[in-house]
Structure 1
Amino acid sequence: MASKKKILKKIQIVITNHFNTPEDAFNFFDNDGNGTLSKREIATLLKQAEISGFIRGMVSSKLIEGYDKNGDEEVNWKEFKSAVDEIAKKSK
């Protein structure tokens, strides 16, 4: 199984290589336009990052658990931006 560091690096690559800004990435993956990323929407992001389907559900749950600060079991823009900033710092 891929390590947390490798998974976060793959997410960073998708965001930086396919979108002009993190906000563009957030809006692209927010399929229903409700201003949050659900577990299913995060799984779509992970698929783009070439994370194995076998672990995608578990990883999306862990990402929500780690970055959902308001407890709604979704990731809003502020939480997403915080996650992106943290990923960028860890990859340096």
Structure 2
Amino acid sequence: MLSKETILNKIQILITNHFNTPEDAFAFFDKDGDGKLSKDEILKLLKQAEITGFIRGMIASKLIEGYDKDGDDLINWKEFKSAIDEISDESE
């Protein structure tokens, strides 16, 4: 299984290489425009970040479990930003 740091690093690379800002990345993956990322939307993000299909579902569940602070099984912008800030802190 990939480490949390490896997964977050792959997400950071995706955001850095394909989007101008984390907000742009969030908006791109928030396909229904509800301001929250569902598990399906997170799966698409992980696929774009080149996380293999075999473990993608488990990782999506773990990301929701780890960053979903309000308990709605979705990742809103504030929760997504928290994950991005954690990535930024680790890479400095």
- TM-score strictly above 0.5: yes
Matches within 5 A, 1:52-63: 52-63=52-63
1:58 positional shift:
0.3
TM-score by length of 2: 0.96
1:16 alignment partner in structure 2: 16
Distance 1:3 1:82 in 2: 18
1:91 positional shift:
2.3
2:49 alignment partner in structure 1: 49
Superposed structure 1 runs of 4+ greater than 6 Å apart: none
Q: Percent identity?
A: 74
1:3 alignment partner in structure 2: 3
Distance 2:84 2:4 in 1: 14
Distance 1:82 1:4 in 2: 14
1:16 positional shift:
1.1
TM-score by length of 1: 0.96
Aligned pair count reads: 92
Give per-residue Cα distances to partners, 1:31-76, cap 9 Å, x unaligned. 1111100011001000001001000000000000000000000000
Runs of 5+ consecutive residues of structure 1 not aligned to the other structure = none
Distance 1:6 1:82 in 2: 17
Runs of 5+ consecutive residues of structure 2 not aligned to the other structure = none
SS of the residue aligned with 1:32? Answer: coil
Distance 1:44 1:37 in 2: 10
2:81 alignment partner in structure 1: 81
